[in-house]
A = this chain, B = another copy of it.
Amino acid sequence: MIIGVPKEIKALEFRAGLVPSSVRELVHHGHQVLIESQAGVGSGFQDQDYILAGAQIVQTAIEVFERADLIIKVKEPQESECRMLRDEQILFTFLHLAPDPVQAQGLIDSLCIAIAYETVTDPRGGLPLLAPMSEVAGRMAAQAGAHYLEKTQDGRGILLGGVPGVYPGRATIIGGGVVGTNAARMCLGMGSEVVVIDKNPERLRELDILLDSRVKTIVPTLETIESYV
């Protein structure tokens, strides 16, 4: 199969659909990979890195879209990209179609086969391509929260974990799923008091034993929400 990776064109998107080590896997399994020149620079990869991994560099997105059977991207296709998609071509990327009827129509008109990362489901009903995003989001949330509590960020000047002799800060986390659990673990690691609120008591039980009683688990009621949020 010919697999193509155009350079991302949406603002503030630094990632690429494939990193060189992924290219190498695909080539090893017999596929041909086309990378648009400079597609990896935002993530610190040069064209040469892709070439060493077995890819062919092409100069324009047009060439990628013309030759590839399968297009791998990060963000949803922009209007100019939708116009390059064609019948029977497979598009594999995040789509987030719900709030975006223009994109949805563009995809329909293109006659391509679009598969959204966020909807791929594993046999247990999990979302394997979304989970790592949630893990990153949860861990970043703790880090971002700590940052915005700093005085110089117009925060309340609170250090999440306090120091010996001073009561620590408290992180209240609503939802004990992938995002919440990862945020909870980072906050605990920074020494914060952590309260997790979740409607599912079975999940609270799991977190209680997995995190060895270090997290406080709370069932949401009007009263607990008011007290801890």
Evaluate whether A165 and B223 lie within 8 angstroms (CB atoms) in the complex, with A186-B190, A189-B188 already known. no
A218 close to chain B: CB less than 8 A: yes
Evaluate whether A159 and B132 lie within 8 angstroms (CB atoms) in the complex, with A126-B202, A164-B207, A166-B218 already known. no
A117 close to chain B: CB less than 8 A: no
A25 close to chain B: CB less than 8 A: yes
Q: Mark A162-182, 1 if CB is under 8 A from B, else 0.
A: 111111100000000000011
**Contact yes or no, B219 A165, CB < 8 A:** yes
**Contact yes or no, A159 B131, CB < 8 A:** no
Q: Mark A123-152, 1 if CB is under 8 A from B, else 0.
A: 010101001100110011011001100111
Residue A163 contacts which of B12, B124, B139, B162 (CB distance < 8 angstroms)? B139
- For A, the interface residue count at a CB cutoff of 8 angstroms equals 66
What is the oligomeric copy number? 6
**Contact yes or no, B161 A186, CB < 8 A:** yes
**Contact yes or no, A210 B213, CB < 8 A:** no
**Contact yes or no, B136 A159, CB < 8 A:** yes
**Which chain B residue has the least Cβ–Cβ distance from A161?**
B139
Evaluate whether A159 and B146 lie within 8 angstroms (CB atoms) in the complex, with A191-B213, A214-B214 already known. no
**Contact yes or no, B190 A221, CB < 8 A:** no
Q: Which residues of A contact B (CB under 8 A)?
A: 12, 14, 21-22, 24-25, 28, 43-44, 122, 124, 126, 128, 131-132, 135-136, 139-140, 142-143, 146-147, 150-152, 156-157, 159-168, 181-182, 185-186, 188-191, 193, 195, 201-202, 204-205, 207-210, 213-214, 216-219, 221-224
Mind listing 27 A-B residue pairs with CB under 8 Å?
Answer: A14-B151, A21-B224, A24-B222, A28-B222, A44-B157, A124-B202, A128-B201, A132-B201, A139-B163, A146-B146, A161-B189, A161-B213, A162-B216, A163-B182, A164-B201, A164-B204, A164-B205, A164-B207, A165-B204, A165-B205, A166-B218, A186-B189, A186-B191, A188-B189, A189-B189, A189-B191, A209-B210
Q: Which residues of B contact A126 (CB under 8 A)?
A: 202
How many angstroms between the C-alpha atoms of A48 and B184 in the bound complex?
37
Closest chain B CB from A135 CB (angstroms): 4
